[in-house]
Amino acid sequence: MDGLFLGIDCGTQGTKALVLDAGSGQVLGLGSATHAPPHGRDGRREQEPADWLRALAIAVAGALREAGVEGRAIRALAVSGQQHGLVLLDSKGQVLRPAKLWCDTETAPENQQLLDALGGAQGSLERLGLVIAPGYTVSKLLWTQRHHPELFARISHILLPHDYLNYWLTDRACSEPGDASGTGYYDVRRRAWAADVLQRIAPGERLLAALPTLVEAGDCIGTLRPQAAAALGLSPQAWVASGGGDNMLGAIGTGNIAPGMITLSLGTSGTLAAYADQPHVSPQGEVATFCASSGGWLPLICTMNLTSACALVRDLLELDLDRFTELAAQAPIGADGLLMLPFFDGERVPALPEATASLHGMTSFNLTRANLCRAVLEGTCFSLRYGLDLLRESGLHGSEIRLVGGAAKSPLWQQVLADLLGLPVVCPRQTEAAALGAAVQAAWSLGRQFGRGDSLEVLCRRCVALDESTRTLPRPVQQAAYEVAYRRYRDHLPAR
């Protein structure tokens, strides 16, 4: 459907907004605002939802200003949000406490308790289609009951971050299959809430009643409430689409809506996602067979340490990003035998939640700044290779990787990943893939609402363009060298 559409991406570090002309496929404007960093100690990572609302208004205003358009020209919008977070509201719609985020590991004991109750990894796979992991939403609920029983008793709405923003925008508590998949109380095969899992936390129907209404991916959930429209400078007639989790909307924003392609996001964490028409549940617990926000499924793996690990080494050596990259490029593949397992925040892929980072093979010859930079970069990429191998073992093979995220435009990262993963790598022109995917979904959803719009396939062909100057091919000699280094990484992984 032609017209102007707004895509919003609320992540850990900040909120992005993007104005898309769906008729031409052109991005007209971008806006952004940072969030206060997650706070907490000993694994706690929390943010104030009010900070997301502040950033939302700033980002939308910036996108409209850069696009040179009035807010009333926006026909529909959609929200992409960081997954797994827990936002609790009381009966008046007020936030009860800070939101626990995807990267919060404080609830690992609660996750293990729930996993044991489900019958371990195999029982979780059979009941939910995935293995619940530390960071998923369900353990945050049990943690709240255990540590804040008075607040737990007042829960009226249990929302994910993107659900909360949709609630603020429309006054409707809704969720869709993609983001709901990461809660740990959603059955990805049946696309339904798993009430029995919630009853392991609190018997009865109270928690189920607090869950948002499930809608289909691509549905419009309503128009903007007047207060939200006024705060954002938009028309109260603008529609709000279902939106979804950042991984799901990022897949749409890279055109990953059919089998044969892989989206790789290089951010604080690293994510590899491959589209599937059927719920091919992997026996490997690290593979999360989430639903897609375009229909179908989006099996993915997510590593905990990527640019965050590189930033720690940069800070230690007092390097800016350019100098870090320059030094890493100077060192040879394998860093002269220096190997880092960069599990600074534990690790999800491979599944080592209690692991810590370690450095191996140090000698008086190889302990240089260049090798240390190379070792942390390679270590994070080895975890991605580990995850890609798991996807391949599940029957998910891609012919191309579309690379997005903060490190995506780095030629060094592009070449390392192409050689190590053994696939061509290319960046979309618009690297804010989740915000773009949200805008594309908004256009698709509005067309569905009125029965006269373009298909999602047509919209992706028009709106997702590749930057062919970034296309990077694997090099056979370097591939062989990486295989040696990767085997050494596998040999040094802690026992599980």
Percent of the chain at pLDDT above 70? Answer: 100
pLDDT band at 96 (very low <50, low <70, confident <90, very high): very high
pLDDT of 268 > 90? The answer is: no
pLDDT tens by residue, 169-219 = 999 999 999 999 999 999 999 999 999 999 999 999 999 999 999 999 999
Catalytic residues: 246
The per-residue pLDDT for 280 is 79
Tokens found for residue 473? 């091919």
Specify whether the CB–CB gap between 453 and 446 falls below 8 A: yes
The residue among 189, 183, 178, 177 whose CA lies nearest residue 129 is 189
The per-residue pLDDT for 46 is 96
Decide the pairing of beta strands 401-405 and 425-428: parallel
pLDDT tens by residue, 40-55 = 888 899 999 999 999 9
pLDDT tens by residue, 272-305 = 999 999 987 888 889 999 999 999 999 999 998 9
The per-residue pLDDT for 248 is 96
The per-residue pLDDT for 496 is 67
The per-residue pLDDT for 41 is 84
The per-residue pLDDT for 397 is 87
The overall average pLDDT reported for the chain is 95
pLDDT tens by residue, 393-431 = 988 888 999 999 889 989 999 999 999 999 999 999 998
Specify whether the CB–CB gap between 207 and 167 falls below 8 A: no
The per-residue pLDDT for 282 is 86
pTM of the predicted protein model:
0.93
Q: What is the DSSP string of 221-284?
A: EEEPPHHHHHHHT--TT-EEE--EEHHHHHHHHTT--STT-EEEEESSSEEEEE-BSS----SS
pLDDT band at 250 (very low <50, low <70, confident <90, very high): very high
- Cis peptide, bond prior to residue 203, ω within 30 of zero: no
pLDDT tens by residue, 113-151 = 999 999 999 999 999 999 998 889 999 999 999 999 999
pLDDT tens by residue, 64-95 = 999 999 999 999 999 999 999 999 999 999 99
**Could you tell me the residue ranges of all domains in the chain?**
4-247
- Kindly state which CATH superfamily the domain 4-247 is placed in: ATPase, nucleotide binding domain (3.30.420.40)
Q: What is the DSSP string of 221-236?
A: EEEPPHHHHHHHT--T
The per-residue pLDDT for 43 is 84
pLDDT of 256 > 90? The answer is: yes
Tokens found for residue 466? 């590749």
